[in-house]
């Protein structure tokens, strides 16, 4: 019988995603004895292994393929090429190489910070004690502080269980061939990002969304350019529709009008949301209070149990990697004795659709009916850099919302090609409490897409230059 190893530590972190590993590195930097338990996803968690990074790699490859395919057709920008072809298995191998490189990088950073990484699945007996099953035998860990960072997992529909040709985003990132017909169930950002990528790669794509429009959390002005791309590129849209069972290569759908419909599908990609990973690791034994499906925390990321903390997707919306990382840093510094709070002005979000969408702070839906808000929009079509890189022809724009009384920025949104790179500028200005005059007073580099942010604020002040 294998003897159970006993470990005592100052900090125990469960989950090696962007919340957990960042918390581990910061704990190590601050001299805290730290153990990080890494479950099945691998260092970097969902984001690095089966989420943010690999999806953006596949999206990038799809964009490259689309460009070559255009050149092989009628040509583009005076460029012509022979017939485009793709070996998706090689693309996936390239993507996997990027993931491995980043895995190695995270491991090196944790080692440098003197964090002990244990590979295995943890199960808690109480709030401060867990048992980890490893390849080298069981380990019991007791800790003074516990940071829960178990992340989230795709939601499975009971009538469309994952398996075979019904896949989640995880499997969609590792297909060995482009499906002839792909049906995406769910018109949120994950389904649209991957659906658009596979359309660019040549698949026939249909989207089934229960709401009356795509990306229902964003206002229609932001989503209209994406909808225009979808319909213009032959993506079959079924809005206000409900998916049913799948069999014999056909997905049953009930349309908005209540009519039955069958959609042919080689693969059915189910992307109806993500849920916190709360099962299978003994959360119920920890005495931690919940807020609906999420672990309840305060502005210090503290749970109701003393010295038990939670970060990332486990703690609620927005389920974004950069939120988890920021929370992980805050908790590490609190444990080290610093006075910290997690109280951001904004957490910017990006949809890597075609075109991309960025939203930071308040949007039109949040200020509906208010007469104390200035809203100004500046089209990318009036920006030289946008036209020069074919980013100004899809209805894209930058929009600012500000208080009428003191011109304080309340929110910034954008839609257009490559606008994801503007997200940090938007968040920075909001976090610093900038007013319209602050943005207007910054000399923005020409020619860049960021000039649209500058011009939008000028327009809010009543004197835009280039429109």
Q: Which residues are catalytic?
A: 446
Strands, sheet with 260-264, edge to edge from the N-terminal-most edge strand: 242-247, 250-254, 260-264
In three-state secondary structure terms, 139 is strand
User: Residue 409's closest CA among 462, 463, 461?
Assistant: 461
For 309-331, give the DSSP string.
Answer: EE-GGGG-SS--HHHHHHHHHHH
- Considering only CA atoms, give the Rg of the chain: 24
SS3 378: strand
Closest to 212 in 3D by CA, of 231, 235, 192, 187: 187
Specify whether the CB–CB gap between 388 and 418 falls below 8 A. no
Report how far residue 322's alpha carbon sits from residue 101's, in angstroms, rounded to the nearest whole number. Answer: 20
CA–CA dist 81, 67 (Å, integer): 10
Cβ 275 vs Cβ 155: under 8 Å: yes
Q: CA nearest 150: which of 302, 300, 299, 21?
A: 21
Task: Give how far Cα 149 sits from Cα of 331, 404, 447, Å.
Answer: 11, 41, 42
Q: Report the C-alpha gap between 384 and 378 in whole angstroms.
A: 13
Nearest to 296 by CA among 320, 314, 281: 314
Tokens 């969902």 correspond to what residue? 46
Tell me if residue 390 falls in helix, strand or coil.
coil
Strand partners, 242: 254
Q: How far apart are CA 314 and CA 290, in angstroms?
A: 10
Which positions ≥6 away from 359 have C-beta within 8 Å?
218, 222, 348, 349, 411, 413
97's tokens? 């190489």
Question: Could you please report the per-residue DSSP string of 259-310?
Answer: -EEEEE-SEEEE-S-EEE--SSS-GGGTT--EETTEEP--TTSB-SSTTEEE
Phi, psi dihedral angles at 290 (to 5 degrees): -115, 155
């Amino acid at each position: 019988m294998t003897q159970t190893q006993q470990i005592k530590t100052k900090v125990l972190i469960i989950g090696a995603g962007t919340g957990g590993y960042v918390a581990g590195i910061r704990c190590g930097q601050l001299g805290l004895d730290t153990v990080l338990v890494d479950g099945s996803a691998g260092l970097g968690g969902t984001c690095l292994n089966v989420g943010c990074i690999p999806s953006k790699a596949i999206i990038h490859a799809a964009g490259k393929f689309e460009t070559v395919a255009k050149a092989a057709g009628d040509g583009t920008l005076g460029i012509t090429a022979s017939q485009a072809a793709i070996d998706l298995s090689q693309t996936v191998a390239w993507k996997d190489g990027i993931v491995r490189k980043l895995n190695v990088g995270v491991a090196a950073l944790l080692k440098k910070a003197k964090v002990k990484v244990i590979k295995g699945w943890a199960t808690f007996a109480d709030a401060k004690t867990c048992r980890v099953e490893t390849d080298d035998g069981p380990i019991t860990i007791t800790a003074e502080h516990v940071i829960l960072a178990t992340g989230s997992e795709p939601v499975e529909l009971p009538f469309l269980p994952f398996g075979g040709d019904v896949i989640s985003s995880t499997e969609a990132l590792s297909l060995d061939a482009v499906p002839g017909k792909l049906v995406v169930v769910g018109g949120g950002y994950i389904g649209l990002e991957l659906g658009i990528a596979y359309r660019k790669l040549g698949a026939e794509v249909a989207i089934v969304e229960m709401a009356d429009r795509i990306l229902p959390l964003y206002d229609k002005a932001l989503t209209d350019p994406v909808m225009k791309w979808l319909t213009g590129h032959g993506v079959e849209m079924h809005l206000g529709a409900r998916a049913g069972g799948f069999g014999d290569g056909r997905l049953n759908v009930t349309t908005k009008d209540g009519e039955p419909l069958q959609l042919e599908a080689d693969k059915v990609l189910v992307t109806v949301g993500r849920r916190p990973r709360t099962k299978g690791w003994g959360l119920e034994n920890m005495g931690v209070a919940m807020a609906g499906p999420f672990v309840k925390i305060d502005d210090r990321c503290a749970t109701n149990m003393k010295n038990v903390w939670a970060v990332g997707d486990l703690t609620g919306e927005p389920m974004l990697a950069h939120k988890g990382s920021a929370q992980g840093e805050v908790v590490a510094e609190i444990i080290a004795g610093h006075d910290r709070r997690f109280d951001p002005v904004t957490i910017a979000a990006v949809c890597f659709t075609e075109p991309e969408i960025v939203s930071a702070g308040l949007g039109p839906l949040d200020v509906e009916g208010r007469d104390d808000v200035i809203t100004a929009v500046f089209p990318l079509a009036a920006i030289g850099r946008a036209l020069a890189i074919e980013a100004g022809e899809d209805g894209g724009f930058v929009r600012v919302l500000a208080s009428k009384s003191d011109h304080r920025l309340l929110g910034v949104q954008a839609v257009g090609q490559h606008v994801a790179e503007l997200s940090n500028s938007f968040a920075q200005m909001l976090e610093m409490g900038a007013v319209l005059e602050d943005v207007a007073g910054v000399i923005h580099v020409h020619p860049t897409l960021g000039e649209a942010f500058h011009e939008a604020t000028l327009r809010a002040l009543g004197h835009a230059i280039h429109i």
